[in-house]
Structure 1
Amino acid sequence: MTDSTTLRAQVVRTGPIRYATAERFARPFPVAESDPRPSSGEIAPQPPSRLDAVMGSPRDDHPQGEDCLNLSITTPARDSRARPVLVWLHGGGFSSGAGLLEWYDGGALAAEGDVVVVGVNYRLGALGYLCLDGVSEGNLGLYDQVEALRWVRAHIAAYGGDPADVTVIGQSAGGISVRLLTRLPEARGLFRRAILQSAPIDITARPHEESLELGRIFAEALDGDPHTADLPAILAAQNETALTHLRRSGRTMEPAFMPVEGIAPFPGPQDRADENVRDIDVLYGWNADDMIVFCRDDDDPAKRTREVYEVPLARFGASLVRAGARAHAYRLDWCPAGSPFGAAHCLELPLLFGTRDAWRSSPMLGDTPWEETDRLGKAVRATWVAFARTGVPGALPAPLVEVPVPGPS
């Protein structure tokens, strides 16, 4: 049997490619066809991830900077086959991560499934989600994602992909982003299917007034002009704002900078916006021990996973059915040998993306040999590809468990 390492060598990797450009705190706009500049290869400026102790630190190093609206493409061939396209939106609490990281290498998905995989960078932290009068309207990272999907629609055919057959996939904060994209009139028609992995759906967006207050806290912490401050100062003020928000709210799951409700690009009530999901296919789910990495010492991880993921996602599933979407749900139960984290947040990522080297020494994988991870991953990848092709994941293989989708209520 051909292993995924051999298959990965058979695909074509292209990028990074600049899909848009933006001034600081401004909306993105497409790169002009006449623009000769190569991509910078930068990823969004960011602090270390708070999940480094679980995932490990990224083994690859990319320059950080504001010219970060870059994407990568992995395809079986640059031909006219018109393959299904999977567009990946990474997690990281809207403050860390990048679509260009080796963790998210799409080689196995592309080779095994004969699909095109696109990894997207978008703006993070204050540079992507600050809401402050006279400085930033908020939601810029979401506008970046819409612009990336527009780029895919316009250009992916040249990479062997079908612009009319796009599945957008997101994990954690990326899953929240996918949820919001299903609500945006601007994103209507840019994708036909959606996958949400471990999205804490109850913290999808923050009220406008609360976002403005956090913006003012950021401005005070910065002690300078946000338009001209250097990146270390921006990140330091961002960290100070996060600490203040945690101290005041006690909400450990909620980042200081995240999408803002009540302003563009959300022009109407949520129920009306949910009509945008009519006739699309959605796969959503969570990991059995998602909350174990976020719990305080006196918390019950199983109880908190149910409260933060299982119950809100069941409500989300019912809302999808009510709005006319076709929905499927899963739970990941895999507990790697030697791992103290069980079926933790992010555990599905090495089953879908990345390489042996990228995930080498990841604490959440414990003592599990890569061959075992890759064997399970092949089954999970086949499920994601089946959904991307047909809208139906089929019979879920272990370590996935099918979860009934609630009817409309």
Structure 2
Amino acid sequence: MTTQQNIGTHSFHTPFGKILALKENGVIKAKSIRYARSERYKMPVPVETVESEEILDKTPVCPQNISPLLERLIGKTDLEKFQPDESTQFLTITRPENFSQNEKLPVVVWIHGGSYEIGCGDLPTSDPSVWVKEQNMMVISVSYRLGLFGFLGGDENRPANLGLFDIMEALRWIQKNIQSFGGDPENITLFGQSSGGDAIAHLMISEGVDNLFHRAIIHSAPLGFRLKRNKMSLEFFRKTEFLKDETDPLKMTEGYVNFLPSFRKYGLKTSMPFCTQYGYPPLCTEEESQEKWKENAKKYDVLMGLNHDETAFYVKTAEQGIYTYLHEKILNRIVRVTTDSIYEKPANMFAENYSEGGGNIYLFKIHSTIKNNYIGASHCFDLPLIFANETAWKSSELLKDVPWQYMVENGKKLRALWAEFARKGKISDDSERPEILRLRKV
């Protein structure tokens, strides 16, 4: 236990067992609770009791390759703080330090992004402490299997969508245990960005999720990549067959990279080689998906949207490749076209379809209003607004031309609106909007 004055410990007594948590700077964090276990390419098996009362020194993370692009976009990864674990079913609960025993806090479940390939739930850049304290709510960050381990399958020996099944298992754990932490099991909102948002959209049409959550906040989901993937996925599945019995999981993650250039023939979607797969449990077929969202529209309140310049960081800061020598006007045009096709048009189509099914859905777009911000509101620009951890974001190239005070002023208003939605499933016309936000009910 750390001896600094503002750090202590707290014990939660739950049906799951005694869980030790850290008290720090006004929040309590129960870190890296194991909710399930899995063998390679097998379904997750729920863990019934606490396996260890110790607080882990290192954060468990699914084996993965470091992305140089994301390291520039967000910041360097301190590998010393992470422990690769193939069975990476862990969650972290963050709640306010001051609470009464009978309190029922709204629960937001964070599903991280990273192209279904990298990341984990518990990163400094997605630390929800500020949001939790400001809005008196609870945030649960979920880690799940990624890449070859969780999102590439094709037969009974290597099933598809195992990462989705992991998230579903986490939601069952939350339903069963969250009351002991002061959370309200009747008020659970899933919140995801990028592939995390895509995962949530697909959980909304998955078998076996009834009553596990009530609302969805979906940021920057690349729904333009979800269609016509079967051929590419099958080719990727076959080419990686030789890796399935590799004993070293890190060698597996290094091994598949060699095949990625051969998928360029499939177009832009090859930038996200892993994804949810239609026609395999728990999902319907691709052809049935639109109708399924419409059918389920009355089950979940949805807040969905994107950043105005989603693809700008990738296009305008490329260190090599096709974009490097193009004029800025042409680059801006490429950003508009790609943002539109991957994010905006699919979000609009989703919202219209959902609304036609009688669903309660809001659409938003985040803009940068800073004149000399070359990349504008690019992919991930929304994250420091919600997860206001200045220390974690200060070296991010994404915010190079953005004063932190700008993020503070806009972020506080945005966090209040999103918390309002998580509590009630709606946003009042009278609630204050930040200048960067365009929001409408569909």
Q: Which residue of 2 aligns with 1:23?
A: 39
Aligned-partner SS, 2:262: helix
Specify the code of the residue in structure 1 equivalent to 2:253.
L
Residue 236 of structure 1 pairs with residue 254 of structure 2:
yes
Indicate which of 46, 50, 75 corresponds to 1:56. Answer: 75
> Which runs of 5 or more structure 2 residues have no equivalent in the other structure?
1-5, 7-22, 316-321, 324-329
CA shift for structure 1 position 206: 5.7
Match of 1:273 in 2: 292
Equivalent residue number for residue 67 of structure 1: 87
Task: Give the drift of 1:335.
Answer: 5.0
Structure 1 vs Structure 2: percent identity of aligned residues? 31
Determine if contact 1:87/1:118 at 8 Å carries over to the other structure. yes
Q: Which amino acid letter does the alignment assign opposite residue 42 of structure 1?
A: P
Which whole-Å CA distance do the structure 1 matches of 2:33 and 2:370 have between them?
A: 36
Measure, in 2, the Cα distance between the counterparts of 1:252 and 1:139: 18
Matched with 1:248 is 265
8 Å CA contact 1:103–1:353 kept in 2: the answer is yes
Kindly provide the amino acid, as one letter, of the partner of residue 270 in structure 1.
S
Contact 2:297/2:355, CA 8 A, preserved across alignment:
no
Which of 162, 165, 170 lines up with 2:187 in the alignment? 165
Given that residues 224 and 341 in structure 2 are in contact (C-alpha distance below 8 angstroms), is that contact kept between their aligned partners in structure 1?
no
Give yes or no for contact 1:206–1:260 (8 Å, CA) kept in 2. Answer: no
The answer as to 2:26 corresponding to 1:10 is yes
Letter in 2 for 1:145: I
1:371 has 2:388 as partner: no
**What is the alpha-carbon distance in structure 2 between the residues aligned to residue 386 and residue 219 of structure 1?**
47
Contact 2:105–2:182 (Cα < 8 Å) also in 1: yes
Give the 5 Å matches for 1:136-215.
Answer: 136-204=158-226, 207-215=229-237
Alignment of 1:70-149 (within 5 A): 70-77=90-97, 79-133=101-155, 135-149=157-171
The alignment partner of 2:121 has SS state of coil
Q: Which moved more, 1:331-340 or 1:276-285?
A: 331-340
Change (3 A) 1:382 1:283: same
> Compared with structure 1, are the counterparts of its residues 12 and 310 closer, same or farther at alpha carbon in structure 2 (3 Å cutoff)?
same
Partners of 2:199 and 2:151 lie apart in 1 by: 12
Query: Is the 8 Å Cα contact of residues 339 and 363 (structure 1) preserved in structure 2?
Result: no
Deviations 1:25-71 (A, max 9, x none): 11111102274576674111111133222222245731112131111
Paired residue type of 2:44: P
Give distance in 1, aligned partners of 2:166 and 2:300. Answer: 22
Q: d(CA) in 2 for partners of 1:86 and 1:281?
A: 13
Contact 1:193 1:280 in 2 (8 A): yes
1:140-177 deviation line (CA, Å, top 9, x unaligned): 11111111111111111111110110000110000100
Determine the C-alpha separation between the residues in 2 that align with 1:185 and 1:69.
20
Aligned pairs (5 A) from 1:338-377: 339-377=373-411
1:196, CA displacement in angstroms? 0.6
1:286 has 2:306 as partner = yes
| Number of equivalent positions | 395
TM-score, with length taken from structure 2: 0.83
Q: Quick one: structure 1 residues 235 and 336, their matched pair in 2 at CA, closer, same or farther if it must change by over 3 Å?
A: farther
Distance change >3 Å, CA 383–CA 398, structure 1 → 2: same
Distance 1:97 1:387, change over 3 A: same
Provide the residue aligned with 1:33 in structure 2: 49
- Does the aligned pair in 1 maintain the 2:88–2:144 contact within 8 Å? yes
RMSD of aligned residue pairs (Cα, Å): 2.4
| Contact map agreement 1:380 1:397 (CA 8 A) in 2 | yes
CA offset at residue 259 of structure 1? 1.1
Amino acid at match of 2:421: F
Q: Using the TM superposition, give the Cα deviation of residue 322 of structure 1 relative to its aligned residue in structure 2, in angstroms.
A: 1.7
Where 1:380 maps in the other structure, the secondary structure is: helix
Contact 1:80 1:157 in 2 (8 A): no
Task: Give the distance between the partners of 1:335 and 1:366, measured in 2 at CA.
Answer: 15
Query: How many Å separate the matches in 1 of 2:245 and 2:297?
Result: 37
Deviation at 1:209, TM superposition (A): 5.0
Distance 1:120 1:336 in 2: 33
Are 2:398 and 1:397 aligned?
Answer: no
Note closer, same or farther for the CA distance 1:111–1:378 as it changes in structure 2 (3 Å cut): same
TM-score normalised by the chain length of structure 1: 0.90
